[in-house]
Amino acid sequence: MGLEFTTSRAADAIAWARKFSLFSYPFVTACCGMEFMSTAAPKYDIARFGAEFPRFSPRQADLMLIVGTVTEKMGPILSRVYAQMCEPKWVIAFGVCACTGGFYQNYGTMPGCDQVIPVDVYIPGCPPRPEQVLDGLMLLQEKIQKHQSNYQLRVLSDAP
């Protein structure tokens, strides 16, 4: 038993803390929700990655999971919910419907929720398997550790 210590930059330490304590807000609209439940349930256990605690208020969440089909009618609502989240915030599009509109090529479906809010990680699949979801979550954790977020990138590039 010796003296144990570690060194880090403060920003990296904060990013490390953030990536293992994601509070998610599931914006569940369609069938992909079943797969979200499966990912959250003990068998796949999203809790192992520190994201086990869904908050049902966007004001307490820093990760928005868009799970399912988003319609044009829902667009203004999605945009408002996103605006209610505190920074820093991240978004995962869960399933092809949320990524691109999927096979719904019609009058009512939005062709991807990135038409309205910036998305960090896209998880394809109809619905994606829980392993894919966990993979997507790990990709997001990598992004967080590297201090990347589409929201922040946008803010930075907008600055004069």
Partner 1 sequence: MSQRILDRMKERFPDAVGDTHAQHGNETAFVARERIVEVLAFLRDDPELEMNYPSDLTCVDLLGLGDGLGELQREQQGAPQDDKPRFEVVYHLYSVTKKHRVRIKCRVPEDDPTIASVAHLYPSWNWFEREVWDMYGIRFVGHPDLRRIFLYEQFVGHPLRKDYPKEKRQPLIRREGMV
Q: Min. distance of Cβ 82 from partner 1 in angstroms?
A: 10
Buried b (16+ CB within 10 A) or exposed e, 101-115: bbebeeeebbebbbe
Q: Min. distance of Cβ 48 from partner 1 in angstroms?
A: 33
Q: What is the phi/psi pair of residue 58, to 5°?
A: -60, -20
**Of 5-13, 67-75, 86-94, 127-135: span binding partner 1 (CB under 8 A):** 67-75
CA distance 33 to 127: 9
Q: Residues 62, 148, 50, 32: is their CA dihedral positive or negative?
A: positive
- Find out whether the peptide bond into 54 is cis, omega within 30 degrees of 0: no
Select the binding partner of residue 31 from ligand SF4, partner 1, none (C-beta < 5 to 8 A, by kind): ligand SF4
Q: Within 75-134, which residues bind partner 1 (CB under 8 A)?
A: 75-76, 79, 105-108, 110-111, 114-118
Tracing tokens 């988003």 back to the chain, one arrives at: 70
**Which residues face 91 on adjacent strands?**
64
Give 59 or 73: the residue with its C-beta nearer to partner 1: 73
| Residue 157 binding partner 1, by CB under 8 A | no
Select the binding partner of residue 69 from partner 1, ligand SF4, none (C-beta < 5 to 8 A, by kind): ligand SF4
Q: Which residues of the shown chain bind ligand SF4 in the complex (CB under 6 A)? A: 30-32, 68-69, 95-97, 102, 126-127
User: Would you tell me which residues interact with partner 1 (CB under 8 A)?
Assistant: 72-73, 75-76, 79, 105-108, 110-111, 114-118
